[in-house]
Amino acid sequence: MNLPNKLTMARIIAVPIFIVLYMKGMSYAAFAVFILASLTDMLDGKIARKYKLITNFGKIMDPLADKVLVYAAFCLFIEKGVMPGWMLTVILAREFIVSGVRTVAAAEGTVIAAAMSGKIKTVLQMIAVPLLILDTPGIIHTLAVIFLWASLIMTIVSGAEYVIGNRHMFADR
């Protein structure tokens, strides 16, 4: 397994650690774990591209690791009343639709690359989550809410873009 894929796996392994720390009220430790895990996302992609270490495993597991990390946090936020459940429902609906289209495309031998709007959505989510972990009154809370809403808007935009851009996948099925 190459270094970028090891970093992706480290992000997945970080998820239960993050969950335990957050649920035990260890916000700063959970914050640190989330930030470190998020940085592995940026790092694994840079290393994979620079050294031509892109693999099918990485293409599939890297975005999946991001989702597991971020959506685990969102589930915890719902449980703690930090985030409304309907937001996660919208986010998950987009993910299932995009995954469905990708699965159909893959069955036909086509790989659909991630669009910039989806990458922006992920970055906004990865900014919102640490701010929500801290959930302190004042500017941090305000920024958390702004980034959460911005990520929700980009979720809808990127999902619509994805469906419209790949509408041929729905034709004559």
pLDDT digits (tens, 9 = 90+) for 94-124: 999 998 888 888 888 887 777 899 989 999 9
Domain range for residue 102? 3-169
Distance separating alpha carbons of residues 2 and 156, to the nearest angstrom: 34
Distance separating alpha carbons of residues 106 and 100, to the nearest angstrom: 10
Q: Are 77 and 131 in contact (CB under 8 A)?
A: no
H or E element in which residue 44 lies:
helix 27-50
CB neighbours of residue 19 within 10 Å: 16
- The structure's pTM equals 0.91
The total domain count for the chain is 1
